[in-house]
Amino acid sequence: MQIFDLAGKTVLVTGASGGIGLALVKGFVEASANVIAADLDPEPVAAAMQGNDSVMPIALDVSDASAIDEVLAQARARFGPVDILVNNAGVKSGERLIDGDRKKIQLTLSVNTEAVLNLTRLVYQDSMKKSGGRIINIGSSISSRGAILNYQAGGADYCYSKAIVHDLTQLLAYETAPQGVTVNAIAPGIIHTPLHDRPAEETEARHSGRIPLGRIGQPQDIVGAAVFLASEASSYITGQVLHVNGGMVMSD
Ligand SMILES: NC(=O)c1ccc[n+]([C@@H]2O[C@H](COP(=O)([O-])OP(=O)(O)OC[C@H]3O[C@@H](n4cnc5c(N)ncnc54)[C@H](O)[C@@H]3O)[C@@H](O)[C@H]2O)c1
Protein backbone atom coordinates (compact mmCIF):
# COMPACT_ATOMS: atom_id res chain seq x y z
CA MET A 1 0.00 0.00 0.00
CA GLN A 2 1.17 3.50 -0.86
CA ILE A 3 0.96 4.85 2.72
CA PHE A 4 3.48 2.23 3.91
CA ASP A 5 5.90 2.87 1.06
CA LEU A 6 9.34 4.23 2.07
CA ALA A 7 10.77 4.82 -1.39
CA GLY A 8 13.34 7.64 -1.37
CA LYS A 9 13.71 7.51 2.44
CA THR A 10 16.96 6.87 4.26
CA VAL A 11 16.74 4.80 7.45
CA LEU A 12 19.53 4.46 10.02
CA VAL A 13 19.16 1.25 12.05
CA THR A 14 21.53 0.61 14.98
CA GLY A 15 22.22 -2.88 16.26
CA ALA A 16 21.62 -3.96 12.66
CA SER A 17 23.48 -7.26 12.92
CA GLY A 18 21.30 -8.56 15.76
CA GLY A 19 18.10 -10.57 15.70
CA ILE A 20 15.60 -7.70 15.59
CA GLY A 21 18.00 -5.32 13.80
CA LEU A 22 18.55 -7.60 10.82
CA ALA A 23 14.81 -8.27 10.48
CA LEU A 24 14.25 -4.49 10.48
CA VAL A 25 16.90 -3.93 7.81
CA LYS A 26 15.21 -6.52 5.57
CA GLY A 27 11.77 -5.06 6.30
CA PHE A 28 12.83 -1.50 5.43
CA VAL A 29 14.46 -2.70 2.20
CA GLU A 30 11.21 -4.50 1.29
CA ALA A 31 9.41 -1.19 1.90
CA SER A 32 11.83 0.36 -0.68
CA ALA A 33 13.97 2.40 1.73
CA ASN A 34 17.74 2.84 1.70
CA VAL A 35 19.24 1.56 4.94
CA ILE A 36 22.36 2.50 6.89
CA ALA A 37 22.94 -0.68 8.89
CA ALA A 38 25.13 0.21 11.87
CA ASP A 39 26.48 -2.19 14.46
CA LEU A 40 29.51 -2.75 16.68
CA ASP A 41 30.15 -5.65 14.31
CA PRO A 42 28.63 -4.96 10.88
CA GLU A 43 29.88 -8.23 9.33
CA PRO A 44 26.70 -10.30 9.95
CA VAL A 45 24.42 -7.69 8.35
CA ALA A 46 26.93 -7.18 5.52
CA ALA A 47 26.96 -10.93 4.84
CA ALA A 48 23.16 -11.25 5.04
CA MET A 49 22.54 -8.30 2.70
CA GLN A 50 25.49 -8.87 0.36
CA GLY A 51 24.88 -7.49 -3.13
CA ASN A 52 21.97 -5.32 -2.05
CA ASP A 53 22.73 -1.74 -3.10
CA SER A 54 20.05 -0.32 -0.81
CA VAL A 55 22.01 -1.29 2.30
CA MET A 56 25.19 0.29 3.65
CA PRO A 57 26.64 -1.75 6.54
CA ILE A 58 28.84 0.35 8.81
CA ALA A 59 30.72 -0.08 12.09
CA LEU A 60 29.43 2.06 14.94
CA ASP A 61 29.65 1.84 18.70
CA VAL A 62 26.60 3.86 19.68
CA SER A 63 28.13 4.64 23.07
CA ASP A 64 31.00 6.47 21.33
CA ALA A 65 29.46 9.87 20.59
CA SER A 66 32.60 11.02 18.77
CA ALA A 67 32.15 8.34 16.08
CA ILE A 68 28.65 9.38 15.05
CA ASP A 69 29.45 12.45 12.94
CA GLU A 70 31.61 10.36 10.60
CA VAL A 71 28.83 7.76 10.20
CA LEU A 72 26.30 10.50 9.40
CA ALA A 73 28.71 12.03 6.85
CA GLN A 74 29.15 8.66 5.13
CA ALA A 75 25.41 8.04 5.23
CA ARG A 76 24.70 11.43 3.68
CA ALA A 77 27.29 10.92 0.94
CA ARG A 78 25.75 7.58 -0.04
CA PHE A 79 21.99 8.05 0.46
CA GLY A 80 21.39 11.66 1.54
CA PRO A 81 20.22 12.85 4.98
CA VAL A 82 18.70 10.43 7.48
CA ASP A 83 14.88 10.58 7.44
CA ILE A 84 14.20 7.75 9.89
CA LEU A 85 16.30 6.76 12.89
CA VAL A 86 15.75 3.42 14.62
CA ASN A 87 17.53 3.26 17.97
CA ASN A 88 17.64 -0.52 18.26
CA ALA A 89 21.15 -1.37 19.58
CA GLY A 90 20.93 -2.78 23.07
CA VAL A 91 22.51 -5.07 25.60
CA LYS A 92 20.85 -7.41 28.05
CA SER A 93 21.91 -7.24 31.64
CA GLY A 94 20.93 -8.91 34.88
CA GLU A 95 22.12 -6.62 37.64
CA ARG A 96 20.20 -5.65 40.73
CA LEU A 97 20.11 -1.86 41.10
CA ILE A 98 20.52 -1.82 44.85
CA ASP A 99 23.70 -3.85 45.08
CA GLY A 100 24.63 -5.00 41.56
CA ASP A 101 27.93 -4.36 39.77
CA ARG A 102 28.15 -0.62 39.23
CA LYS A 103 30.26 -0.93 36.05
CA LYS A 104 27.79 -3.34 34.43
CA ILE A 105 24.89 -1.10 35.31
CA GLN A 106 26.75 1.86 33.79
CA LEU A 107 27.40 -0.06 30.54
CA THR A 108 23.71 -0.97 30.27
CA LEU A 109 22.66 2.63 30.76
CA SER A 110 25.33 3.87 28.38
CA VAL A 111 24.26 1.63 25.45
CA ASN A 112 20.52 1.25 26.07
CA THR A 113 19.73 4.77 27.21
CA GLU A 114 22.38 7.50 26.90
CA ALA A 115 23.28 6.45 23.36
CA VAL A 116 19.63 6.78 22.32
CA LEU A 117 19.63 10.40 23.42
CA ASN A 118 23.06 11.17 21.95
CA LEU A 119 22.37 9.68 18.55
CA THR A 120 18.92 11.27 18.39
CA ARG A 121 20.38 14.70 19.20
CA LEU A 122 23.02 14.38 16.48
CA VAL A 123 20.62 13.10 13.81
CA TYR A 124 18.17 15.86 14.74
CA GLN A 125 20.86 18.53 14.29
CA ASP A 126 22.19 16.90 11.12
CA SER A 127 18.91 16.60 9.23
CA MET A 128 15.60 16.36 11.08
CA LYS A 129 15.64 19.86 12.52
CA LYS A 130 15.26 21.20 8.97
CA SER A 131 13.38 18.48 7.16
CA GLY A 132 11.44 16.58 9.85
CA GLY A 133 11.62 12.85 10.25
CA ARG A 134 10.80 9.77 12.27
CA ILE A 135 12.47 8.41 15.36
CA ILE A 136 11.69 4.91 16.56
CA ASN A 137 13.19 3.77 19.84
CA ILE A 138 13.22 0.11 20.77
CA GLY A 139 12.16 -0.09 24.40
CA SER A 140 10.87 -3.17 26.16
CA SER A 141 7.57 -4.45 27.53
CA ILE A 142 9.29 -5.28 30.79
CA SER A 143 10.69 -1.75 31.34
CA SER A 144 8.66 -0.11 34.09
CA ARG A 145 6.68 -3.34 34.65
CA GLY A 146 9.90 -5.17 35.46
CA ALA A 147 9.13 -5.45 39.13
CA ILE A 148 5.62 -6.82 38.52
CA LEU A 149 7.01 -9.37 36.09
CA ASN A 150 9.87 -10.21 38.48
CA TYR A 151 12.24 -8.91 35.77
CA GLN A 152 11.26 -11.99 33.67
CA ALA A 153 13.90 -11.53 30.97
CA GLY A 154 16.53 -9.21 32.35
CA GLY A 155 17.70 -7.49 35.48
CA ALA A 156 16.40 -4.40 37.23
CA ASP A 157 19.10 -2.37 35.50
CA TYR A 158 17.81 -3.46 32.06
CA CYS A 159 14.24 -2.56 33.07
CA TYR A 160 15.45 0.80 34.33
CA SER A 161 17.36 1.51 31.11
CA LYS A 162 14.28 0.78 28.98
CA ALA A 163 11.82 2.62 31.24
CA ILE A 164 13.91 5.74 30.66
CA VAL A 165 13.76 5.10 26.89
CA HIS A 166 9.96 5.13 27.10
CA ASP A 167 9.96 8.44 29.01
CA LEU A 168 12.58 9.89 26.70
CA THR A 169 10.38 8.99 23.73
CA GLN A 170 7.54 11.08 25.09
CA LEU A 171 9.71 14.03 26.11
CA LEU A 172 11.48 14.15 22.74
CA ALA A 173 8.17 13.80 20.90
CA TYR A 174 6.97 16.90 22.69
CA GLU A 175 10.15 18.86 21.99
CA THR A 176 10.47 17.98 18.30
CA ALA A 177 6.83 18.05 17.19
CA PRO A 178 7.11 21.67 15.97
CA GLN A 179 9.84 20.56 13.54
CA GLY A 180 7.61 17.84 12.08
CA VAL A 181 9.42 14.98 13.80
CA THR A 182 7.51 12.08 15.31
CA VAL A 183 9.08 10.02 18.10
CA ASN A 184 7.61 6.69 19.09
CA ALA A 185 8.82 3.54 20.80
CA ILE A 186 8.24 -0.10 20.08
CA ALA A 187 8.24 -2.22 23.24
CA PRO A 188 8.91 -5.84 22.27
CA GLY A 189 7.90 -8.63 24.60
CA ILE A 190 9.96 -11.83 24.55
CA ILE A 191 11.49 -12.17 21.08
CA HIS A 192 13.73 -15.07 20.12
CA THR A 193 17.12 -13.49 19.33
CA PRO A 194 20.76 -14.00 20.40
CA LEU A 195 20.04 -11.56 23.26
CA HIS A 196 18.51 -14.41 25.26
CA ASP A 197 21.54 -16.58 24.64
CA ARG A 198 19.67 -19.90 24.77
CA PRO A 199 17.74 -22.20 22.39
CA ALA A 200 14.27 -21.04 21.34
CA GLU A 201 12.59 -24.04 23.03
CA GLU A 202 14.04 -23.00 26.40
CA THR A 203 12.87 -19.41 25.98
CA GLU A 204 9.48 -20.74 24.85
CA ALA A 205 9.18 -23.02 27.88
CA ARG A 206 10.22 -20.27 30.23
CA HIS A 207 7.88 -17.53 29.01
CA SER A 208 5.06 -18.70 26.76
CA GLY A 209 2.75 -19.63 29.67
CA ARG A 210 2.53 -15.95 30.51
CA ILE A 211 1.82 -14.81 26.93
CA PRO A 212 -1.89 -14.78 25.95
CA LEU A 213 -1.12 -15.51 22.28
CA GLY A 214 0.69 -18.61 23.52
CA ARG A 215 4.13 -18.19 21.97
CA ILE A 216 7.25 -16.08 22.19
CA GLY A 217 7.81 -13.64 19.33
CA GLN A 218 10.16 -13.82 16.37
CA PRO A 219 12.16 -10.82 15.06
CA GLN A 220 9.80 -10.64 12.08
CA ASP A 221 6.96 -9.83 14.51
CA ILE A 222 8.53 -6.39 15.11
CA VAL A 223 8.84 -5.40 11.45
CA GLY A 224 5.24 -4.38 10.72
CA ALA A 225 5.15 -1.98 13.67
CA ALA A 226 8.48 -0.42 12.63
CA VAL A 227 7.51 0.10 8.98
CA PHE A 228 4.17 1.51 10.14
CA LEU A 229 5.83 4.01 12.51
CA ALA A 230 8.32 5.00 9.79
CA SER A 231 5.67 5.56 7.12
CA GLU A 232 3.00 8.09 6.20
CA ALA A 233 0.43 5.74 7.70
CA SER A 234 1.45 6.90 11.20
CA SER A 235 1.87 10.62 10.51
CA TYR A 236 -0.55 11.65 13.32
CA ILE A 237 1.03 9.37 15.93
CA THR A 238 3.77 10.64 18.24
CA GLY A 239 4.92 10.07 21.82
CA GLN A 240 3.49 6.55 21.92
CA VAL A 241 4.87 3.26 23.15
CA LEU A 242 3.58 0.42 20.99
CA HIS A 243 3.81 -2.94 22.76
CA VAL A 244 4.43 -5.91 20.46
CA ASN A 245 4.32 -8.76 22.92
CA GLY A 246 1.52 -11.26 22.27
CA GLY A 247 -0.47 -9.60 25.06
CA MET A 248 2.14 -10.29 27.76
CA VAL A 249 1.69 -6.74 29.05
CA MET A 250 -1.47 -4.85 28.18
CA SER A 251 -1.21 -1.08 28.49
CA ASP A 252 -4.03 1.44 28.32
N1 LIG B 1 14.88 -10.02 22.23
C2 LIG B 1 14.00 -9.58 23.10
O3 LIG B 1 13.28 -10.37 23.74
C4 LIG B 1 13.85 -8.11 23.33
C5 LIG B 1 12.78 -7.68 24.13
C6 LIG B 1 12.63 -6.34 24.38
C7 LIG B 1 13.51 -5.43 23.83
N8 LIG B 1 14.55 -5.87 23.08
C9 LIG B 1 15.46 -4.86 22.56
O10 LIG B 1 15.54 -5.00 21.15
C11 LIG B 1 16.80 -4.48 20.71
C12 LIG B 1 17.47 -5.50 19.80
O13 LIG B 1 17.77 -6.65 20.57
P14 LIG B 1 17.90 -8.11 19.97
O15 LIG B 1 16.99 -8.96 20.76
O16 LIG B 1 17.83 -8.09 18.51
O17 LIG B 1 19.37 -8.44 20.51
P18 LIG B 1 20.67 -8.95 19.74
O19 LIG B 1 21.65 -9.24 20.82
O20 LIG B 1 20.33 -10.01 18.77
O21 LIG B 1 21.12 -7.66 18.93
C22 LIG B 1 21.65 -6.53 19.54
C23 LIG B 1 22.62 -5.91 18.55
O24 LIG B 1 23.09 -4.67 19.12
C25 LIG B 1 24.47 -4.59 18.85
N26 LIG B 1 25.12 -3.73 19.84
C27 LIG B 1 25.34 -3.96 21.15
N28 LIG B 1 26.00 -2.95 21.70
C29 LIG B 1 26.22 -2.04 20.71
C30 LIG B 1 26.87 -0.79 20.64
N31 LIG B 1 27.48 -0.26 21.72
N32 LIG B 1 26.90 -0.13 19.46
C33 LIG B 1 26.32 -0.67 18.36
N34 LIG B 1 25.70 -1.86 18.35
C35 LIG B 1 25.66 -2.53 19.52
C36 LIG B 1 25.00 -6.01 18.94
O37 LIG B 1 26.24 -6.15 18.26
C38 LIG B 1 23.86 -6.78 18.30
O39 LIG B 1 24.05 -6.95 16.91
C40 LIG B 1 17.59 -4.16 21.99
O41 LIG B 1 17.48 -2.78 22.27
C42 LIG B 1 16.89 -4.98 23.04
O43 LIG B 1 17.06 -4.46 24.33
C44 LIG B 1 14.74 -7.19 22.81
| CA 91 to ligand 1 centroid distance, Å | 5
Range of the domain at 22: 2-244
Q: Decide if 249 is inside a domain.
A: no
Catalytic residue chosen out of the listed positions 158, 160, 174, 236: 158
Q: Decide if 250 is inside a domain.
A: no
Q: How do the pLDDT tens digits run along the chain, 252 residues long?
A: 799 999 999 999 999 999 999 999 999 999 999 999 999 999 999 999 999 999 999 999 999 999 999 999 999 999 999 999 999 999 999 999 999 999 999 999 999 999 999 999 999 999 999 999 999 999 999 887 877 777 666 789 999 999 999 999 999 999 999 999 999 999 999 999 999 888 999 989 988 998 999 999 999 999 999 999 999 999 999 999 999 999 998 876
Q: Which residue puts its alpha carbon closest to atom 39 of ligand 1? A: 18
The confidence score (pLDDT) of residue 118 equals 98
The confidence score (pLDDT) of residue 24 equals 98
The confidence score (pLDDT) of residue 251 equals 78
Is there an atom of ligand 1 within 6 Å of 138 CB? Answer: yes
The confidence score (pLDDT) of residue 153 equals 67
Q: Decide if 251 is inside a domain.
A: no
Q: Decide if 154 is inside a domain.
A: yes
Secondary structure string (H, E, C) spanning the chain: CHHHCCCCCEEEEECCCCHHHHHHHHHHHHCCCEEEEEECCCHHHHHHCCCCCCEEEEECCCCCHHHHHHHHHHHHHHHCCCCEEEECCCCCCCCCCCCCCHHHHHHHHHHHHHHHHHHHHHHHHHHHHHHCEEEEEECCCCCCCCCCCCCCCCCHHHHHHHHHHHHHHHHHHHHHHHHCEEEEEEEECCECCHHHCCCHHHHHHHHHHHCCCCCCECCHHHHHHHHHHHCHHHCCCCCCEEEECCCCCCCC
Q: Decide if 139 is inside a domain.
A: yes
Query: What's the structural domain count of the chain?
Result: 1
User: What CATH number is associated with residue 196?
Assistant: 3.40.50.720
Q: Decide if 147 is inside a domain.
A: yes
| CA 80 to ligand 1 centroid distance, Å | 26
Q: Would the pTM of this model clear 0.95, i.e. be above it?
A: yes
Specify whether 174 is catalytic: no
